[in-house]
């Protein structure tokens, strides 16, 4: 992952860890992991696939990021947990490093899946973020 993508994800994580809505769903401290943790308490979240694409315009560098957040639930209503987390993500206060501006952060897709374990369900939230940086022209 390049620097802008890493900085965006770190900023999203920092905002999630301090947000009361996220804490209400994923606990305090927030159970958010780089990869799925089978030892973690439920519900918890982990990062999945990430994609980035340049969307440059006249004298502006734009990067579109698509991030996947996996939500793991045991005996919980995964749809309700995912819905609460999606609502919290819409209202996060994200602070990026100097030079970058977060133009939008939108949960664009949500789904819930059964797993091979009867008691565990997986929710997915795909986030679309657009970051901009003014060119030094």
What ranges make up the beta strands (E) of 15-119?
A: 32-33, 44-54, 60-74, 101-114
Each domain of the chain, given as residue ranges in start order, spans 3-134
pLDDT in tens, 9-43: 999 999 999 999 999 999 999 999 999 988 999 99
Q: What's the pLDDT at 73?
A: 94
Say if strands 120-134 and 101-114 run parallel, antiparallel, or are unpaired: antiparallel
Q: What is the pLDDT of residue 137?
A: 44
54 vs 21, 51, 83, 98, 131, CA distance in Å? 32, 10, 30, 19, 10
Please give the pLDDT value at position 136. 40
- What is the average pLDDT score of the chain? 88
CB distance 96 to 131 below 8 Å: yes
What tokens does 29 get?
């401290």
- The fold of the 3-134 domain, in CATH, is STM4215-like (3.30.2000)
Model pTM?
0.86
Q: Which residues partner with 15 through β-bridges?
A: none
CA pair distance 47, 71, nearest whole angstrom: 9
Is the pLDDT at 57 greater than 80, yes or no? Answer: no
């Amino acid at each position: 992952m390049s620097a802008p993508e890493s900085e965006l994800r770190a900023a999203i994580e920092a905002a999630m860890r301090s947000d009361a809505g996220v804490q209400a769903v994923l606990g305090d401290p927030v159970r958010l992991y780089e990869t799925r943790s089978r030892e973690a308490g439920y519900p918890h979240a982990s990062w999945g696939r990430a994609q980035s694409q340049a969307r440059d315009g006249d004298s502006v560098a734009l990067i579109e990021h698509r991030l996947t957040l996996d939500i793991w639930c045991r005996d919980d209503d995964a749809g309700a947990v995912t819905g609460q987390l999606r609502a919290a993500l819409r209202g996060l206060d994200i602070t990026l490093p100097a030079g970058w501006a977060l133009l939008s952060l939108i949960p664009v897709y949500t789904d819930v899946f059964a797993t091979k374990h009867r008691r565990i369900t997986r929710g997915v939230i795909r986030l679309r973020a657009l970051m901009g940086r003014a060119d030094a022209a």
